[in-house]
Amino acid sequence: MDKLPPLGRGIEQVLLPTFAAYEDLLKANEADIRSARRETHSYGPNPRHVLDVYFPDDASKIKGGKATVLVFLHGGGFYTGARINEGYAGGLIFGNIGRFFTAKYGVTVIVPDYRLISHGAKYPSGGEDVALVVDWIKASLAQREGHESVDVVLLGNSAGGVHVLTFLLDGAFEAEREAVLAEDAAVRLRGVITLGAPFHWGGFQDDAIRTYLGENTIEENASLSKLQAAIQRGAKLPTVKILILVSELDPQLMFTSAEEFKAAWKDADIEIKVLEGHNHISPPLGLNTGIEREEAWGAQVAQFLSSCTSD
């Protein structure tokens, strides 16, 4: 973490040096990370619709058939990323996230692949893929012993956060949301976490943003705009707790757009936390390194999960 400040705030400039800074830390814990109990399943019609589900070692931590499930959607700017990064640290990313939450907190973790631009992804395909993951939880995971009742929290990192917010706010997913927001739902959405996600683009655009969000609809399809549109039409907004995580060394847009989003959604239970010492890339890499400072944000997520599922 001490190596990160000199790298700067720009995502492209910190990307490779940050990965290099964490590789040996993760490899030092390779045996533990690989010990996670993992299954791989298809969750939709596209070859990209594959997910890994990580189960707690100790099934006794799942009480009375009620499980907490954390769904982690990776980042990658809409054009890159995968549930397992085979080219980095021997493929330990993102198994370290599955191992961290299953081993320390008894949480079931799902890490899906979702469609990228190379698979024809265009807005709102990310929200569609989130909806398919939720459907898989209802149709498959909830049929397993110990998961008959499931509290779901969605955690989206960077572009993955955009997809989570698409599912949460776009009117196209109203029916799917209502099905998992009902108090008597066997699979119930209890919270949403964004990690380093932009809520609008502040005029910035690149080829990936133009391709995914649409040449002339970039701001229209931004999460803040979707929220404002829902408020203007008097739509029923989801009643879930929201945790916004922004790294201390994130680009400034992450801070300003998060504050604007919170200000616009006045009645929501939204908390913004700043991850000290981290940059845009480092938080997922820091989990299961065994270093308290690196893993502190994971403990914050665990506290949030507990607060979402305590009633």
Per the structure, the count of domains in the chain is 1
Whole-number average pLDDT of the chain: 94
Q: Within a domain: residue 172?
A: yes
pTM, full prediction: 0.96
Of the pLDDT bands very low, low, confident and very high (cuts 50, 70, 90), residue 22 is very high
Kindly give, in sequence order, each residue whose CB lies less than 8 Å from that of residue 170, ignoring residues fewer than 6 positions away.
124, 127, 226
Residue 46 has pLDDT above 90, yes or no: yes
Residue 218 in domain: yes
Helix axes 174-181, 125-139, angle to 10 degrees: 30
Mean pLDDT of the 164-179 span: 96
- And the tokens for 307? 């607060």
Would residue 164 count as lying in a domain? Answer: yes
Give domain status of residue 223, yes or no: yes
Residue span of the structural domain in which 120 resides: 5-241+251-308
Gyration radius of the chain's alpha carbons: 18
Give the CATH number, domain containing residue 179: 3.40.50.1820
What is the structure's pLDDT at 2? Answer: 72
Q: How far apart (Å, rounded) are the C-alpha atoms in residues 225 and 230? A: 9
**pLDDT average, residue stretch 283-311:** 94
Judge whether residue 216 has pLDDT over 90: yes
For residue 277, is it within any domain?
yes
Residue 108 lies in a domain: yes
pLDDT digits (tens, 9 = 90+) for 235-283: 989 999 999 999 999 999 999 999 999 999 999 999 999 999 999 999 9
In a domain, 246, yes or no: no
- Please give the average per-residue pLDDT across 135-146, as a whole number: 94
Spatial CA neighbour of 45 closest among 135, 109, 117, 161: 135
More confident residue, 66 or 44: 44
Q: Is the pLDDT of residue 219 over 90?
A: yes
